[in-house]
Structure 1
């Protein structure tokens, strides 16, 4: 209960500080360029649920799909690379070569291969998350102390069981960190991808508002994108508290 009150207090303080900074910038730049926060919030309420909810739902669906696919592929592959030296030796060079490449630069290639629909947008976001998860999981799995595995095997645990009860718990903190970092980058890539060949998504909504000189609506879209990211981060924090309860005991 105390932890919940503290988190709520920190969140309220952060909102207050952010709001004050926003008001200061609005006064400095002018309300036409940067409207006051309450003006944007009022317009957000006017546009919600129609038409804003459809754009937020489209963006959220693409991010969730990319998260699911990248997680399902990168997690087992990262564990295998971290624990099997031959596989790591074979695949790591390709990972090191592709990871630093800005994924947005691959947009023309992705559009050529997957067409102009949702699959291309989801795949592009998935690329961002995939390499972030793969690298973090691989390093965490490789760093699991051998003594823990030997102790587990001495108690009768099998190699498969050691993945479930030793390796996975050890790499979960690194996995959630990778998901947080990757999600922020993925939303940035999604924003760019949604400006091409679509009529639904926050990226489309923001750029459409900008081209119509509807700056207030543009800031509403930016707020929607921020709330989307906040929701994803909150969900990841909740999942980490549920799956990594032992961290609070250590702390």
Structure 2
């Protein structure tokens, strides 16, 4: 399984790089009218935390862009915009996962990608019942989560609940093939989905997550569909994008 996920991360890297850059831009733009303060990002189903390096890279890239736009002769503390991620730190990522993960493993992963430990917090919880207050996060991340939760609709509703108005959800999910375009693939997915659930932590092959997100009542939805190469016909169909809470 580890080798499969490594292969997946290589294949999905261009998509994640673009999406996380867009997410950070949206969060910073949203915060401009709110004044300085910590940017709070929730990741649901953090797993082995492969997304942290993308978030860190996007955050550092944004800070470098802002620094380059400043007059180098000006004191940085006086001229840095209040909306910057630098003044917003410490950024707080809270991770909710339907399965247990060792805090020690989480801390080692955080060290490996460059996040200070005090900026991270791990919560073990159900994705359908997040232990957070309404409108308490600026953004959320879910990748390869809605294929395995008991209630995809309930999970999406919970994420909407804890997002602030204007907050963004970054999502990447593998989805069912279309009956019209790839009927034989869809037949195979339907037949093999019970086995997949048994051997892959409840992962379903027939979830229609794109349709679920389009019906989610978002204020804005930038969603793309495509294939991730190297995964085989059963898993290569994906949806990805950013949804914005009204």
- Normalised to the residue count of structure 1, the TM-score between the two structures is 0.22
- The structure with the larger Rg is 1
- Greater strand share, structure number: 2
- Normalised to the residue count of structure 2, the TM-score between the two structures is 0.22
Tell which has more relative contact order, 1 or 2 (C-alpha 8 A, sep 6+). Answer: 1
